[in-house]
Amino acid sequence: MAGGAGLAKRLGTLLSGLLECGAFCGIIFGWASLVFVLKDLGYFEGLCQPSATPSPNVTLGSDCSGQDEQFSLVFTIGSFMNNFMTFPMGVVFDRFGTTAARLIAISLYTGGTLLVAFSTPEMAVLLFPAMSMLSVGGILLILTNMQVGNLFGNYRSIIITLYNGAFDSSSAIFLIVKLLYERGLSLRAMFLFLAACSAWHLLRTLFLMPRTRIPYPLPPDYDYGLQCRGRSRSYRAHKDKRPPGEAGAEETPLEPATARGGDTPGTPFRACACSWLFAWHVAWLSVMQLRHYLFIGTLNPQLEHLARGDHALGKAS
Give the three-class secondary structure for 237.
strand
DSSP for 240-305 reads: PP--TT---GGGS-SS----TT-PPPPPPHHHHHTSHHHHHHHHHHHHHHHHHHHHHHHHHHHHHH
Encode pLDDT of 23-69 as tens digits.
Answer: 999 999 999 899 999 999 999 998 888 766 555 555 555 778 889 89
Higher pLDDT, 208 or 305: 208
How does residue 311 score in pLDDT terms, banded at 50, 70 and 90?
Answer: low
DSSP for 17-67 reads: HHHHIIIIITGGGGHHHHHHHHHHHTTTGGG-EEPP-SSTTSPP-EE-HHH
Question: What's the pLDDT at 238?
Answer: 41
- Mean of the per-residue pLDDT values of the chain: 82
Residue ranges of domains in the chain, CATH in brackets: 1-50+62-227 (1.20.1250.20), 268-317 (no CATH)
Question: What's the pLDDT at 4?
Answer: 34
- Any idea which of 123-132, 219-228, 275-284, 291-300 has the lowest mean pLDDT? 291-300
Find the largest Cα–Cα distance for the chain: 91
Q: Record the pTM.
A: 0.77
> Parallel, antiparallel, or unpaired for β 62-63 and 49-50?
antiparallel
Question: What's the pLDDT at 12?
Answer: 94
